[in-house]
Chain A
């Protein structure tokens, strides 16, 4: 028994090591005083100087601000469109071409990003030439680009939540005098809200670290954080990047924990109603 559990524990340890050693080393080196990323400076470490430098780097701060704006706008837009699509797919269980519709909403999940990005770029250029919109590319076109794939994730999350939704709850509300639109906003939406929130966080994260589609749809002066980081890294890794990565990992951890907490609460609620 004890031998088997030792084996199980070492399996787990290797798995986690594979996943987290690179990240951990990056976090550790973000407190390194040395200018060289791979050489640990025993005399002056640990230090917060790269975090300080980061706060004064206008290029990175500007890019972070753009990324934040794009991520928030993308998450909000994706949640609205994805909720509508998920609601539609969950509520019209049988119609002609349902399979095709489901496949079409989820196709962006598996579509290579390069192809999505390139096709968006071609579309934007063609549109600009024929109708004059969008006039150049920038934050707006990036948001549209990110929404094309983020929305698919939200759709899947919302649709699967609605699939387990007891419809008699909506009928009860209608029976008690609420009109269909009111039922949607007062009953359906609050009940599936945790799923929508989880979708929002997912869409935010996807946008925050997207590089490929951003590169295709960005214009001059609208570089996002991943784009700036990527171009900096090409010229050699700067310890500031380590500090930036540490901050990002912290933020992502907080968001992921929040998202899974919301999802767990949604499941508990669903289970409580079903019981």
Chain B
């Protein structure tokens, strides 16, 4: 996809970040909304802040917009310290969750508002507003009052209004939150196309992990005011750094255990929950006696009625529940230890023989599949 073609500047130590948060903290009285967050965002990225409500993601966004002042720390945009710069002088624009359209103006006047503040010549305003409305497919709605628009149209007016000033950084607060599911999926790809065409850096706040996975070049998962992990969607999904991240993105089976074999090329974890050991095909760094968890995604576990060929990473169990979702089925398998394991299988053939409830099954997985997390 376009927004990922710029390479991976976050892996390049010499790359200059476009937005930089340096140890930013925001407190409201006793409550710490944002706790010592440092973050670098690069040009043309779509960076998604993902987290449950109250995790501090919106506060972080509002500090970048200039609507909240950090209690401590500095905010830099394009190398310039903007910590004390008011919103009306920042080179950023924001799209609000409520869209915040001006109810006493029509669509055209809403979009033109920002350009008027900059005293852009009238002819140029008209031209740029028309082009922007064309881009978001609202050309014929220019004279409508915003009260007469549908939710999707309002969302596009808000987007046009924020983009018409050609900001280098656009902040989006739950941009698709108010749209229904079908429209949301469609709009996600429109948003990516627009971002690619205009070369704007996007910072998106969302609580919807699917939205974050679709849009983002990188995701920052937030937990209680801190960024638990930042990385590409694939990194976050395949290599979560904690139980919280593994559990927050997608679903996961966690097996508690401790190291019994610690080699540079592989480790073995004994887990009472599984009643055996788990072979992990990569080395880890951990204290020898520390408790750790092997995280295993439901789609990475194979299930069979007959015994598999491999000897490591095999478990037996009984199917307790089956949920048919159309494209895939979810199985819950009870191990002899009582631990429940979640498995998903794509329904590849139309009349594939289903694995019935109460069947005795074998579970097995590749040594490369488990991820070991220590917290």
Contacts and interface: CB of A to CB of B under 8 A. Distances in A.
B239 interface: no
A171 interface: yes
Interface centre among A177, A178, A272 (most CB of B within 10 A): A177
B102 A187 contact: yes
A177 B97 CA distance: 19
A175 B104 contact: no
Interface string A147-184: 00000000000000000001011011111111100100
Contacts of A190: 104
Given A168-B98, A169-B102, A191-B103, 18 more contacts: A166-B100, A171-B65, A171-B87, A172-B100, A172-B101, A175-B93, A175-B94, A175-B162, A176-B93, A176-B113, A176-B161, A177-B114, A178-B88, A269-B103, A269-B104, A272-B103, A272-B147, A273-B147
Interface string A253-275: 00000000000000011101100
Interface of B: 65-67, 86-90, 92-94, 96-98, 100-104, 113-114, 117-118, 146-147, 161-162, 165
Interface residues of A, number: 21
Contacts of B113: 173, 176, 178
A187 B93 CA distance: 18
B93 A272 contact: no
A270 B146 CA distance: 12
A166 B100 CA distance: 7
Nearest to A189: B104
Contacts of B94: 171-172, 175
Interface of A: 166, 168-169, 171-179, 182, 187, 190-191, 268-270, 272-273
Contacts, number: 73
Interface of A is mostly: helix
A177 B67 CA distance: 13
Contact of B96 (A171, A187, A269): A171
A168 B96 contact: yes
Contact of A175 (B65, B101, B103): B65
11 contacts: A168-B97, A171-B67, A171-B100, A174-B87, A175-B65, A176-B114, A177-B88, A178-B88, A178-B113, A270-B103, A272-B146
B221 to A, nearest CB: 25
A187 B88 CA distance: 15
A172 B96 contact: yes
B103 A174 contact: no
A176 B160 CA distance: 12
Query: Top 6 nearest A-B pairs by Cβ distance?
Result: A177-B117, A272-B147, A176-B114, A172-B100, A168-B100, A168-B96
A48 to B, nearest CB: 44
